[in-house]
Structure 1
Amino acid sequence: MPVKISVKTTINDAAPVELIVFGRYFQKERAAYLQYEEVLEEVGTIRTIVKVSQEEMLILRSGAIKMRLPFRLQQKLPGSYELSLGAFETATLAKKMEFTSQENGSGQIDIIYDFEMQGAPAGTFQLEIHFQPEHSYE
């Protein structure tokens, strides 16, 4: 289903950064998926998949930036972040994970997590993703 997606990222209570893109929402087996692309002038196109299942969430990015961020509530999980400069080890510790979806195809994902890069704390991140069918203007 084609959807309009709003991705809002807040790091350590700083001013949030918001991205509005169009993508797809679908459900397969026991998981829900959001797919979208963003184009950054500095680096190129980044394809993102957000997978939400009963116990965990996963953000996969490919293209100009490769990233794998797994989330499971109150568990520290290893991930990865790759740029043209090289690869970095990451870790996430999810403090809050919420997913709601409506029958009309709209929904919300909310994740608050501590993020580490190369073993060093990189901050507390809040990721809020809202999506709704392209044809509805709420």
Structure 2
Amino acid sequence: MNESEPRRVKIELLSGPEGEAGAISYSGMLYPKAGAFYIKYEEADEERGRCRITFKWDTQGMTILRYGEVQGEQSFRLGLRTAGWHETPAGRFRLEMETHKLRLHAKEAGSLPFEIEWQYQLWVNEMSADRFDLRLRVWEEHDE
């Protein structure tokens, strides 16, 4: 993969063990950078409204940024508890994520397709909220 060439990609976000809770698909862009990459896409949800999502993967771990009717930031660092936030028209909430699993699976380093797998415990305003088991699959758009 060219280190600086953006690529059109298909994205599938799976929740629950083996995707049991569901899968949502998107079209987006992959932006490779030296030592990192960004995945950007838009989602529209009746409950949450329109939102632009950015996944950043680097040597530190992964960060998810949300911009739009819902905004927020979550950082995932294996074995650590990190702080973040989530803002909706109802208000702003403090988040904490304790990451139990965070892996990038690819046949070859820097190549498509790949999958990011992560599990974490979420706290909202210092109260335990839920445990999440997620996978993000990414492949070149024309590979379908």
Residue matched to 1:63: 68
Change beyond 3 A, Cα 1:75–1:5: same
TM-score by length of 2: 0.87
Which aligned segments of 4 or more residues in structure 1 are displaced greater than 4 angstroms? none
Residue matched to 1:41: 46
Q: Which runs of 5+ in 2 are unaligned?
A: 1-6
Indicate which of 8, 17, 34 corresponds to 2:14: 8
CA distance in 1, matches of 2:12, 2:121: 22
TM superposition shift of 1:99: 1.0
CA distance in 2, matches of 1:56, 1:23: 21
Residue matched to 2:3: none
CA distance in 2, matches of 1:76, 1:108: 23
* Per-residue deviation, residues 7-45 of structure 1 (Å, max 9, x unmatched): 01239x994132101001121121111111011123421
More helix by share: 2
Residue matched to 2:132: 125
Map 1:19-98 → 2, pairs under 5 A: 19-98=24-103
Residue matched to 2:122: 115
Residue 135 (structure 1) aligned with residue 142 (structure 2): yes
Secondary structure, counterpart of 1:135 in structure 2: helix
What is the number of equivalent residue pairs in this alignment? 136
TM superposition shift of 1:50: 0.5
TM-score by length of 1: 0.90
The answer to whether the 8 A contact 1:25-1:105 is kept is no
Change beyond 3 A, Cα 1:104–1:72: closer
Structure 1 letter corresponding to 2:88: L
| Percent pairwise identity | 26
* Per-residue deviation, residues 62-108 of structure 1 (Å, max 9, x unmatched): 10111100011111111000000100000001000001344552111
